[in-house]
Amino acid sequence: MVNKNRTIEETQKINEKASLVKSGVKQMGYEVQALQEEANCLSLPDDIPELLESWLNHAENMSDDLSQKSTIKKLLRVALNDFYLNDMQQVRLSILRVMKNFENASHDKWVIGVQKQYGHNAERLRQLNKQTIEPKHDLWQAKADYFRSKYDRKMSKLELAKKIKDHLDENDPEKSGAIERIRKIIK
């Protein structure tokens, strides 16, 4: 049933949304097709069930922090089932998806390790920041006060930050991107 009371704008919005949905579905189709073509290029060993079982054992031993663990286990079970149904196309596709999930899990494991390391060292980093960075903030503020007193006209924070940056030591690591940081620190 068509609503004749729709405005032209409403109809255009509906058509735009439908167009977006169509293009999204079309894009997904291309991605699935590309995945299937990539899966067709996989060379599989003769002992596929043994390979899938060993991967399943490896997935069982993965950390529970990794979101890919359950997906990998599910895909491996699907691949085993498809193998016993003799659907090698689906087996290849499942194996490719498992491989991609293992890659993602490996990266996520690294990221989690880095996060834990920095979380563990957070207090030490805070202390280091207090010892090295905060004294620079005081220096920047002192220089800003000096430049304000030196010039008759009122200077903006951006102008002050540029002048302070020009007076930083060449080897100072704070020099890169310093203008914005200095501008935020000075009062």
DSSP 65-129: T-THHHHHHHHHHHHHHHHHTT-HHHHHHHHHHHHHHHHHHHHHHHHHHHHHHHHHTHHHHHHHH
Report the predicted TM-score, pTM, of the whole model to 2 decimal places.
Answer: 0.51
**Do 147 and 164 touch, CB atoms closer than 8 A?**
yes
Quick check: 142 pLDDT over 60?
yes
Is residue 142 assigned to a domain? yes
Is residue 93 assigned to a domain? yes
Domain end residue (candidates: 120, 141, 174): 120
Render the burial of 10-29: b for 16+ CB within 10 Å, e for the rest: eeeeeeeeeeeeeeeeeeee
pLDDT by residue (tens digit) across 67-126? Answer: 889 999 999 999 999 999 998 888 889 998 999 899 988 888 888 877 777 776 777 777
Q: In angstroms, rounded to a whole number, what is the distance separating the alpha carbons of residues 94 and 15?
A: 36
What's the structural domain count of the chain?
Answer: 2
pLDDT at 82: 92
Q: pLDDT: is 64 or 184 the higher one?
A: 64
Containing domain of residue 89, as a range?
Answer: 43-120
Q: In angstroms, rounded to a whole number, what is the distance separating the alpha carbons of residues 104 and 67?
A: 10
Domain end residue (candidates: 90, 120, 150): 120
pLDDT at 8: 82
Quick check: 175 pLDDT over 60?
no
pLDDT at 3: 56
Is residue 27 assigned to a domain? no
Contacts 24+ apart (CB under 8 A), 121-124: none
Is residue 80 assigned to a domain? yes
Domain end residue (candidates: 120, 139, 170): 120
Is residue 30 assigned to a domain? no
